[in-house]
Structure 1
Amino acid sequence: MRTHPTGRQLRFGAELRKLREHAGLTATEAGRLLGVQQNQISNMEAGRVGVSPERVRALAGHYSCADEALIAALCEMTADRTRGWWDEYREILPAPLLDLAEVEHHAQRLRTAVTVHIPGLFQTVEHAREVFRQDVPTLPPPEIEHRVSFRVKRQTVLYRKQPTPQHVVIHEAALRMQFGGSKVARAQLEHLLALSELPDISVHVIPFAAGSFAGSGQSIYYSHGPVPQLDTINLDQSHGPVFLDTDSQLEKYQVLLRRMETIALGREESRSFIHTIALSL
């Protein structure tokens, strides 16, 4: 039995619980239908035990779930028992950071909207190092380097054989923040421009001239799963990533993202805007 389920394992269990509750069954009733004890159902829904694809389909049948796409996605989640590269950091970095890398690894598509920071997947080593130097409480140098290397490894989703499509909205304020000084800032903007040329990456800028807009007070990181029910939102907080996945939360942040995407400049206009700022540094 797992003592510390990963975020993906917890999410899988939560989805099983949603299906049971939607069917109007208690854990005891579900266990009776499946031929197991109530605590076995509870452990499945808490992500503490593995569940075979066959058992997922059996549960879906008992719960009268006819959403084949969702059932297939859940089966795929539980069938994937491979350890990710992020596991090597399990005793080094906080668990939510590892959960973030796992979400990114499995995402079908990623959408980001930021107002102050360059998105982590797009940061240079020097920029990321300076960001971590500003943490409170101050991080010791070895931990800073661990976090930098972890951030760089997360960026493999940009370059793998099938890169994860990215749609990024960046406010002008984030482009003008000179983390590490003008030289580091210029290199960061040049790196962002280079990434924006990749076919799977679309970068859009919201200039100061756009004025106020909904969602301006936070960074939003939206991961699209294989089906909409498995989408995940990450809000980057000072104490670490916060994950949201209820239906109402998913709907709210999709609306916020659409509004921010609507007022952002087009792809080529955004590239010219970033280039102009880089030249001024």
Structure 2
Amino acid sequence: MPPSTPPTLRQQRLGAELRKLREHSGLTATAAAGLLGLKQAQVSSIEAGRYAVSADRVRTLARAYNCADEALTEALAAMTGGRTRGWWDEYRDHLPVGLIDLAELEYHAAALRVALALHIPALLQTADHARAMLREAVPPFRPYELEHRLSYRIKRQEILHRAGGLSYTALVHEAALRMQYGGPDVTRAQLVHILELSELDNITVRVIPYASPHYPGNGQPFDYVAGPVPQLDTVQLDTHHGGCEFLDAEAQLVKYRTLLARMETCALTPAASRKFIERITPSL
């Protein structure tokens, strides 16, 4: 029976990828249902992420759709099993659903790459810096809302320190480093924190200085979340109303891969970035 709660982003993505495979095979939902001994409504529910599907069923669907990409098939099979229960569930009644989906997306990521022009990446923020930023929200958060947002943000950072070390790359513009949220002392501590994290093997921080002759894109921050195979990558954009927008169409993924590659050409090396941050820290 379909779950009583709305499907998560992960469940929706599994269904959408199965729909892509079916459509690529040239089968209608009705034809696929007849081939698999299902009802057309079941196929539609699976593709909408509303119907839990087993790993074996995913493999059966992939074979019926003539999918020859075994890596993709197995990656989709690994996404089955219904809703993932994680630490983010305790925030489900307190935060927008997009933030819950973001935490789950990051948890399952193979790697993360982020690009920001005016803000320190959320996963690199100190609690004091994050609190100062959250206080700038319009309309302002109530005290308990701010604390929920803050604890959620700090909790997300645990993925950087888990066993195996998630690969994390941050492309940060100099402007973000010089924004003094919370004042000079908070900013100085924030930059020291970035320096300490950048020494970890799995974390790379690269600065795009003002002196760079170009800055690709329009300055909108984005996260590029790598999946187990490139087809399952996702781009996350912040929206003006405080939510999250998720992109996964191939043309969109190509666009943001290209943006990241171009940004890397105008960013300092990791070693030069650390020296740059060290140089500007005492001046705050």
Q: TM-score range by the shorter chain?
A: over 0.9
Deviation (angstroms), 1:214: 1.4
Aligned partner of 1:223 among 216, 222, 225: 225
Q: Which amino acid aligns with 2:267?
A: A
Deviates more, 1:140-149 or 1:75-84: 75-84
Equivalent position of 1:198 in the other structure? 200
Residue in 2 that maps onto 1:106: 108
Give the residue type in structure 1 aligned to 2:264.
E
For residue 77 of structure 1, give the secondary structure of its aligned residue in structure 2.
coil
**SS of aligned partner of 2:22:** helix
> What are the Cα deviations for residues 139-175 of structure 1, in whole angstroms up to 9, with x where unaligned?
1110100000000010011111122111111000000
Q: CA deviation at 1:213?
A: 2.0
CA deviations 1:167-209 (Å, max 9, x no partner) are 1110000000001111111111110110000000111000000
TM-score between the two structures when normalised by the length of structure 2: 0.97
**Which amino acid letter does the alignment assign opposite residue 78 of structure 2?**
E
Runs of 4+ in 1 over 2 A off after TM superposition: 79-82
Mapped partners of 1:213, 1:115: distance in 2 = 9
Cα offset, 1:212, TM superposition: 2.8
- Contact persistence 2:110–2:227 (CA under 8 A): yes
Corresponding residue of 2:261: 258
CA distance in 2, matches of 1:80, 1:208: 47
CA offsets 1:43-67 (integer angstroms, 9 cap, x no match): 0011111101111011111100010
Mean Cα deviation higher: 216-225 or 105-114: 216-225
Which consecutive residues of structure 2, in runs of 5 or more, have no partner in the other structure? none
Distance 2:102 2:213 in 1: 31
1:243 paired with 2:227, answer no
The residue aligned with 1:275 is 278
Name the counterpart of 2:14. 12
Q: 1:108-148 deviations in whole A, cap 9, x for unaligned?
A: 11111110000000001011111111111211110100000
Matched positions, count? 281
Distance 1:20 1:88 in 2: 36
TM-score using structure 1 length: 0.98
Question: Does the CA-based 8 Å contact 2:116-2:219 persist in structure 1?
Answer: no
Does the CA contact (< 8 Å) of 1:115 and 1:216 recur in 2? no
Structure 1 residues not aligned, in runs of 5+: none
Query: 1:38 maps to which residue?
Result: 40
After superposition, the Cα gap between the structure-2 partners of 1:243 and 1:82, relative to the gap in structure 1 and judged at 3 Å, is closer
Provide, for residues 13-70 of structure 1, a one-character-per-residue CA deviation record: whole Å limited to 9, x for no partner.
1111111111111111111111111110010011111101111011111100010000
Shift of 1:80: 6.8
RMSD, aligned α-carbons: 1.1
Letter in 1 for 2:48: A
- What is the CA deviation profile of residues 235-260 of structure 1, one whole-angstrom value per residue up to 9, with x for unaligned ones? 12232111100000000000000000
